[in-house]
Amino acid sequence: MSRIGKKPVALPQGVTAEIKGQTIEVKGPKGARSFTATDDVTLSLEDGAVKVTPRGLSKRARQQWGMTRSMVENLTVGVSTGFKKELEIQGVGYRASMQGKTLKLALGYSHDVNFETPDGVTITSPKQTEIVIEGIDQQQVGQVAANIREWRQPEPYKGKGIRYKGEVVFRKEGKKK
């Protein structure tokens, strides 16, 4: 039995859900999102909460049960509070700045890296060494953060690069004579 799947997803204040067949559409103050579940689970709306139940006891139905419940919870969190990823830039001369919808990154290359902000995501740079990515889709926010981080991952000798806020980079000792 899925411990995650058993819990109903409570709808916060100001969030509404509508179920049509296997598709659930969630609307909130930050926007609207929808998710189509597989035929292995049943979605129902009970007492201001969304309940997910498996159809049968097959392995696939039990797998889809917990996954579907997690997806529905991510929809409700996204439209009510949203998701946020914070990146830190460390290194001499490394900096970030926003120019319109373009994130300009100086990362030690011979040129600046221009990163276009995709739809559904907002990128801000409160300081030259910080980047904040926000949006209602958790997967998209995480993917944008990973794409930005990919330009200069933290290296283990000096720790220079782009890292997630609070990330610990394992440091190595340099060569010895």
* Beta carbons of 129 and 90 less than 8 angstroms apart: yes
Q: Read off the pLDDT band of 4 (50, 70, 90).
A: confident
- The reply to whether 3-80 and 83-164 are identical in fold is yes
pTM of the model: 0.88
pLDDT reported for residue 177? 80
Write down the pLDDT at residue 2: 67
**Residues for the chain: how many in total?**
177
The ranges assigned to domains in the chain are 3-80, 83-164
pLDDT digits (tens, 9 = 90+) for 55-112: 998 999 999 999 999 999 999 999 999 999 999 999 999 999 999 999 999 999 999 9
Looking up tokens 């049509």 gives 20
**Cross-strand bridge partners of residue 53:** 42
Report the topology of domain 83-164.
Answer: Outer Surface Protein A; domain 3 (3.90.930)
Strands (E), 37-176: 41-46, 49-54, 83-90, 95-99, 102-106, 113-116, 121-124, 130-135, 161-164
CATH of the domain spanning 3-80? 3.90.930.12
Q: How confident is the model at residue 174 (pLDDT cuts 50, 70, 90)?
A: confident
From the centroid of its chain, how far is CA 37? 20
Q: What is the DSSP letter of 9?
A: E
List C-alpha distances in Å: 154 to 15, 33, 57, 107, 141: 39, 34, 45, 11, 20
